[in-house]
Structure 1
Amino acid sequence: MSRKTPGRTKPSQTTEPKESRFIVKEPGELMQWLLATLAGKGRNKVKGILARGQVSVEGNVVTQYDYPLAAGNRVVIDWSEKIPEAPIEGLEILYEDADLIVIDKEAGLLSIATEGEKQQTAYRMLMEHVRKKNPQNRVFVVHRLDRETSGVMMYAKREQIQEHLQSTWRNTVVERTYVAVVEGCVAKSEGTIRSWLKESKTLQMYSSRTDNGGLEAITHYKVLQADREYSLLEVKLETGRKNQIRVHMQEIGHSIVGDKRYGAKKNPIGRLGLHARVLTFRHPATGQLLSFETEIPKKFLRLFQTKNK
């Protein structure tokens, strides 16, 4: 009967390292760098690694394919499988890095709570999101969308970034485009509305074609579709004043559907007919031009499709 030799152990099996660390030698985009660095992995495998948040640059998780790498950046790849984070109800995160979060907000969700407001907000949900990675993390409000307005907006993840964006907003933001469903057929195919907006004691914004001591507001619009009852407009902001589009649409006699506060008589889609579709800006830290575009809400389009059948 054989006996085991004391002290003898089975040879250990080789296992993949838990993580890999790299130093970037030349500037470039993250996806291309990963494909070159991980030559043995397929493109789909590399995409999955990025999507699951397994790649960190300078200690921050990055999922953006075209994230700009600089020479000397430290990149870490975590090889453990990541369980995808559950979606956040009421919003979708379109982009996130160490400085910013860009989201697509649903109609009905507050951007941030007003005084005495205790409802769930995008701000509160994003705060919970970033603190899962580090309890010290925070988000900071840069701009707002009205509760019933859906679409693209961004938050800062550092106070310095918030201050920079707010102080350089008109130069940093290249494009803010909305789509709006308004009452009536807008006869003029495109136009510009310029006025001064001032807030009343009841927090209602009102417009004056001459300087009334308020803030100058400039809105450009173009008709995308129209019939006798409604028009679908593309609206671009040259300035970003409170309720600017809503007030300007009322001023030209075509209130946004569902906007009883500013003169609407109809609500055929069960919500405010305003959606922030495009946001294009220069990244406050890298200078890179970033653009985010969302689909026109189906409710907006269905209103015209039904009528055209």
Structure 2
Amino acid sequence: MRSVETVEVGEDDGVARIDRWLRRRYPHLTQGQVEKMIRTGQVRVDGARVKASDRVSPGQSVRIPPIPEAAERAPPSGLSRKDEDFIRSLVLHKDDDVIVLNKPHGIAVQGGAKTLRHIDGMLDGLKFENEKRPKLVHRLDRDTSGCLVLARHPRAAAFLGEAFRDRDTDKIYWAIVVGSPRPKIGELRSWMRKAPGAHDADREMMQRAVQWDEGAVHAITQYVVLSEAAGRASWVALRPVTGRTHQLRFHMAEMGHAIAGDPKYKCDRPTPNDLTGALLLHARALRLPHPSGGELKVIAPLAPHMEAIFDLLGFDERDAKDPFEPFEGAR
């Protein structure tokens, strides 16, 4: 357990919400722990109490209460050669500010009580010439493959975090869904909230809600059917306008065309037996402002399990040369 300390916000930290600044500095703390410390006045900025949404700027002083040491499941400082080779094999893009990975299906982004091997635990293997490990700036579900963005220093983390929160990014997902959605292009809107009783990511689920329900959030998803396989299944491009937990999976199940292989979100339409294995959802492409100016666009090749299903159903990814094209008029 550390003692009380006062820390000055550095120039590299940029302007950031106090809760996110604390999470970057102490990544082993949960969001709930951080919010409790702020709410009870244990964290103060320039001597004053703050809210989790208040922002800190370079030069300000932050009072930090005693922080528990990282639990044993926190990312280890040492990394096996096997895991270092593995995490480096996932790199799609690397520059001075940003790394983008092609995350495989079946590996969690962060750890939990029963999750000892995860992307966050291997980020020491992506230091390259830097002293500090990169930081996650968004998440993907364990069973979702595709584009995952890392920031290589705090200024880039603050910039990219704001871009994701302010919806300055475009994310395109590819999915195989059961049946043939109608109409073939549209927008799904709904209110949703976390179902009670689930306290970790593996059991967490979203449920239908109305606007005035406690914890309700509004979710918007745009979709386009790119190809169909004789009514059995369809290849669909999805663009989340909002970024809610399990949003795409929830919306497609609510529409009656659940994503094939989804163990949580199902619909009345049966899933063909040959599509009941892994979740068929892939973060195909990402377009975002770059911390050093300009725009970054990255496309993630299909994961092996998705590629196998494309072959099975007769879909050809070359038919969608630009993943963003179907949504250009809706931006």
With the length of structure 1 as denominator, give the TM-score of the two structures: 0.64
Shift of 1:87: 4.2
Counterpart code for 2:122: M
- Using a 3 Å threshold, how does the CA distance of structure 1 residues 187 and 204 change in structure 2: closer, same or farther? same
1:179 aligns with 2:171: no
Given residue 108 of structure 2, which amino acid in structure 1 is its aligned partner? L
The 10-residue stretch of structure 1 (118-127 or 244-253) with the greater mean CA deviation from structure 2: 118-127
Number of the residue aligned with 2:218:
216
Give the direction of change, closer, same or farther, for the CA distance of 1:287–1:215 in structure 2 (3 Å limit).
farther
CA distance in structure 2 between the partners assigned to 1:117 and 1:102 by the alignment = 26
1:274 maps to 2:281: yes
| Conserved? CA contact 2:226–2:236, under 8 Å | yes
The 5-angstrom pairing of residues 200-239 of structure 1 reads 200-201=195-196, 202=198, 203-208=204-209, 210-212=211-213, 213-226=215-228, 227-239=230-242
Instruction: Name the CA distance, whole Å, in 2 between partners of 1:249 and 1:90.
Output: 33
Contact 1:195 1:210 survives alignment (8 Å): no
The verdict on how the C-alpha distance between 1:211 and 1:281 changes in structure 2, with shifts beyond 3 A counting, is: farther
Structure 2: gaps of 5 or more residues: 1-83, 199-203, 316-331
What is the CA deviation profile of residues 125-160 of structure 1, one whole-angstrom value per residue up to 9, with x for unaligned ones? 222231x645x3122121111111000110112233
1:193 and 2:188 are equivalent in the alignment? yes
Aligned to 1:128: 125
AA aligned opposite 2:101: I
Alignment partner, residue 51 of structure 2: none
Residue aligning to 1:294: 300
Aligned to 2:111: 113
Q: What is the Cα deviation at residue 172 of structure 1?
A: 6.3
Are 1:90 and 1:106, in contact at CA under 8 Å, matched by a contact in 2? no
Q: Distance in 2 between matches of 1:188 and 1:244?
A: 19
Deviation, 1:170, is 4.5
Unpaired runs of 5+ residues, structure 1, are: 1-85
When residues 167 and 89 of structure 1 are mapped into structure 2, their CA distance, relative to the original with a 3 A threshold, is closer
TM-superposed CA distance for 1:268, in Å, is 2.7
C-alpha RMSD over aligned residues? 2.5
Partner Cα distance (1:146, 1:90) in 2: 20
> Quick one: percent identity of the two aligned structures?
31
* Structure 2 residue corresponding to 1:144, chosen from 139, 142, 148: 139
SS of the residue 1:152 aligns to: strand
Retained in 2: the 8 A contact 1:110–1:146?
yes
The residue aligned with 1:103 is: 101
Residues 91 and 248 from structure 1, CA distance in 2 versus in 1: closer, same or farther, beyond 3 angstroms?
farther
CA distance in 2, matches of 1:211, 1:102: 38
Most deviating of 291-300 and 181-190: 291-300
Q: Report the alpha carbon displacement of residue 225 of structure 1 after superposing the two structures with TM.
A: 1.3
- Preserved CA contact (<8 Å) 2:170 2:287: yes
Q: Match for 2:149: what amino acid?
A: M
Q: Return the alpha-carbon distance in structure 1 between the equivalents of residues 244 and 255 of structure 2.
A: 17
Q: 1:150 to 1:287 in 2, by over 3 A?
A: same
1:164 paired with 2:162, answer: no
| 1:216 Cα offset (Å) | 1.4
Partner of 1:88: 86
Partner of 1:25: none
Shift of the 113–220 alpha-carbon distance from structure 1 to 2, 3 Å rule, reads same
Query: What CA distance in whole angstroms lies between the structure 1 residues aligned with 2:106 and 2:163?
Result: 29
Given that residues 87 and 125 in structure 2 are in contact (C-alpha distance below 8 angstroms), is that contact kept between their aligned partners in structure 1? Answer: no
Who is 2:4 aligned against?
Answer: none
| 1:46-65 pair list within 5 angstroms | none
Larger Rg: 1
Question: Cα distance, 1:186 vs. partner?
Answer: 1.4
How much does 1:211 deviate? 5.0
Tell me which amino acid in the other structure corresponds to 1:129: L
CA shift, 1:193, in A, is: 0.4
Per the alignment, residue 21 of structure 1 pairs with none
- Match of 2:220, as an amino acid? I
Shift of the 90–216 alpha-carbon distance from structure 1 to 2, 3 Å rule, reads farther
User: Residues 90, 240 of structure 1: CA spacing in aligned structure 2 closer, same or farther, 3 A cutoff?
Assistant: farther
Residue by residue over 1:178-214, the C-alpha shift from the partner in whole angstroms, topping out at 9 and shown as x without a partner, is 0111111213111100112211222311133645342
TM-score of the two chains, using structure 2 as the length reference: 0.60
Provide the rounded CA distance (Å) in 1 between the counterparts of 2:115 and 2:256: 35
